[in-house]
Amino acid sequence: MSDEHFPVIVVGAGLAGCAAAYRLAKAGYDVLLLERGKRPGGKNVSGGRLYSYALEALMPGEWLDAPLEREVRREMIMTMTERGAVTVNGLLSPNHSGTSYTVLRSKLDGWLAKKAEQAGALVMTGVTATEIVIKDGKACGVLVGDERLEADIIICADGANSLLAENAGITNKVTMENIALGVKLVVGLPEQTINDRFNLSGEDGAACLMVGDCTKGLAGGGFLYTNKESLSLGLVVDASSIKSAKTNIADMIEELKEHPAISPLIVGGQLLEYSAHLIPEGGLNMMPKVFDNGLMIAGDAAGFVINSGLTLRGMDYAILSGIAAAETAIKSIQAADYSAEQLNQYEVMLRLNVLSDMETFKKVRGFMKDTAGLYTAYPKLAETIFKSIFTVDGRPAKRISKVMINSILSHTSVWQLIKDGVKGALSL
C-alpha cells in the first residue's frame, strides 16, 4: 500500500471527519478516511447532546434514521451545594425549533462512517496516522508508521488531543489553560425507570446541567443526560485547576453519584462504561491557523467548541466544519489549486457560523474561570433563599424581599455580586 495517492485524505472518523468524508463521497470524489480506533466511534466520548440542525445541514432528512437516543424536551439547571440543590426544570413544548438529541458516540460515529462508506468513501480503521508529510511547504500526505499515503489535500480531524497538526508544527501546542478534562459514567437503567424518574413520556429525553459543589469549587460543571436505556453522568473541569488544586476528578465523579440530588436518579443502575476525554475550551484565543497549503483542520483539532456555562457545543461545530472543509476541498480540486490562498475559502465559510458564534462567546471562558462565586457562594445563596422562603418554624414571618436581601448579604458582598453580574452580562 506504499505511495498510494488520493485526492483527499481525512484523518479521524469522529463527527468532523465523518462529515467531511461523507460530503466528499456523496459529491463523487475519492476520499480516504483513516481512523485509529478498531471501529469508528470506539475512541470517542461526548456528553452528549447534539443539536439536529447540524445533521440536517449534513444530510437533509437522512439523519432521521441515525441512532439518536432521545429528543431533549425537559431542560434542567441544577445549582448544587454540598448536600442540597436548587433546580430549575422546564418542559419545552412540542415542535419547538432548535431540537436536540442525546447521543452515544460509539453508535453514532459508527453509523455515520458507514454512511460515508456507502457513499463511496474508503474507510480504514485501526490505522494511526503518525505524521503529516510536508514537502516544499505543502502538506502532501500522511505517514502510517513507515508507510506513506499521498494526497492533494489533508483534512486533519483528529480531535482535541491533536498530535498530528502539532507535530507538523502547523499549530501551537495546546496548553492545559485552554483545556478541560471530562469524565463520564454511562449507567444502565430500564427505559420505564428513566421515564418515571425524569417525568418523561415516550421517547422524550431530559438534559440536566449542574454547577456548584459537583466540581468542589473548581471551574467547570456537571451533566446528566437520559439515553434510551441509560444515563450519561459526567463532569467537565478545567485542567489547570485540577493540577493546581491537586484534586482527583476520578473521585469527584464518585462523590457526585452520592449527592442527595443525584443518587435517587441513578439508584439501582449498572455501570456500563467509564470514560475520559479532553475538551478544547480556549475558544478564539487558542484557535490555530485552520488551513495551510494542502491542509485544513476541522472539529476539536481546530478548537471549535463553545462552553457557555449552560451549554457545551462541539459536536455541531465539528459537523459544520467537516462540511465546510469538504466543500472547500471540492472547489480546490475543481480548480486544481491546493494552495493556502485557495483554501482560504474554508475560513470564509466558517465565518458564517462556527467562527461568528465563537466571536459572540469569546469572553465567556474568562468569566467562567475567574468567577469563583459561581461554584461556591452562588449555589449556597440559591439554597439559602429557598430554605428561608420555605422554612416555617413558628418564628415571626419575614417578607420575601427581606429574606432575599439577608441571604445575599450572608453569602457575598453586594459589590462582588454587582461586579459579577456586570461581567456576566457582558460576557454571556
Ligand X SMILES: Cc1cc2nc3c(=O)[nH]c(=O)nc-3n(C[C@H](O)[C@H](O)[C@H](O)COP(=O)(O)OP(=O)(O)OC[C@H]3O[C@@H](n4cnc5c(N)ncnc54)[C@H](O)[C@@H]3O)c2cc1C
**CB-wise, 132 or 200, nearer to ligand X?**
132
Out of 2, 3, 173, 399, the residue judged to bind another protein by CB under 8 A: 173
Question: In this structure, how many other beta carbons lie within 10 angstroms of the beta carbon of residue 120?
Answer: 16
H/E element, 6 = strand 4-11
Specify the DSSP element, H or E, that contains 249: helix 249-257
Residues 176 and 241: their CA atoms lie apart, in Å, by 9
Distance CA(322)–CA(12), nearest Å, equals 11
Binder among 23, 26, 43, 380 for ligand X (CB under 6 A): 43
Q: Does 181 bind another protein (CB under 8 A)?
A: yes
41 part of the interface to another protein, by CB under 8 A = yes
Q: How far is the CB of 418 from ligand X (least distance, A)?
A: 32
Q: Is 260 in the site for another protein (CB under 8 A)?
A: no
x-marked contacts with ligand X along 151-180 as a string, rule CB under 6 A: ------xxxx---x----------------
Report 100-139 residues binding another protein (CB under 8 A): 104-109, 125-128, 130
283 is an interface residue for ligand X by CB under 6 A = no
Each residue of 104-116: b (16+ CB within 10 Å) or e? Answer: bbbebbbbbbbbb
Alpha-carbon distance 305 to 318, whole Å? 8
Provide, rounded to whole angstroms, the least separation between the CB of residue 398 and another protein: 40
Where b means 16+ CB within 10 Å and e means fewer, 248-275 reads: ebeebbeebbebebbeebbeebeebeeb
Which of another protein, ligand X, none binds 106 (CB below 5-8 Å, type-dependent)?
another protein
DSSP notation for 331-365:
HHHHTT--SHHHHHHHHHHHTTTHHHHHHHTTTHH
Q: Which stretch binds another protein (CB under 8 A): 193-201, 257-265, 344-352, 408-416?
A: 257-265
| The only residue of 8, 11, 86, 165 in contact with ligand X, by rule CB under 6 A | 11
For residues 268 and 310, what is the distance between their CA atoms, to the nearest angstrom? 28
Minimum CB distance to ligand X smaller for 16 or for 403: 16
Determine, following the binding rule CB under 6 A, whether residue 34 of this chain makes contact with ligand X. Answer: yes
Q: Is 377 left (phi over 0), alpha (psi -120 to 50) or beta?
A: alpha
Q: Name the strand (E) or helix (H) holding 250.
A: helix 249-257
State the binding partner of 352 from another protein, ligand X, none, CB within 5 to 8 A by kind.
none
Bridge partners of 204, per DSSP, are 71
Per-residue burial over 146-157, b = 16 or more CB atoms within 10 Å of its CB, e = otherwise: eebbbbbbbbbb
Site residues (CB under 6 A) for ligand X, limited to 103-132: 128-129
For residue 37, state whether it binds ligand X (rule: CB under 6 A): yes
Residue 179 binding: pick among another protein, ligand X, none (C-beta 5-8 Å cut-off by kind):
another protein
Q: Which residues contact 390 (CB under 8 A, 6 or more apart)?
A: none
Residues within window 362-421 making contact with ligand X, judged by CB under 6 A: none
Q: Which of 318, 320, 326, 350 lies at the binding interface for ligand X (CB under 6 A)? A: 318
39 is an interface residue for another protein by CB under 8 A = yes
Stretch that binds ligand X, among 12-20, 198-206, 326-334, 370-378 (CB under 6 A): 12-20
**Quick one: what does residue 312 bind among ligand X, another protein, none, with the CB cut-off 5 to 8 Å set by partner type?**
ligand X
- Helices 400-411, 414-427: crossing angle, 10 deg rounding: 90
Contact in structure between 13 and 37 (CB atoms under 8 Å) = yes
- Binding segment for ligand X among 39-47, 75-83, 91-99, 354-362 (CB under 6 A)? 39-47
The residues of the shown chain that bind ligand X, judged by CB under 6 A, are 11-17, 34-37, 43-50, 128-129, 157-160, 164, 182, 184, 234, 236, 277, 279, 299-300, 305, 312-316, 318
The residues of the shown chain that bind another protein, judged by CB under 8 A, are 36-39, 41-46, 104-109, 125-128, 130, 145, 160-161, 163, 173-176, 179, 181, 183, 185-187, 230, 239, 242-243, 246-250, 254, 257-258, 263, 266-269, 271-278
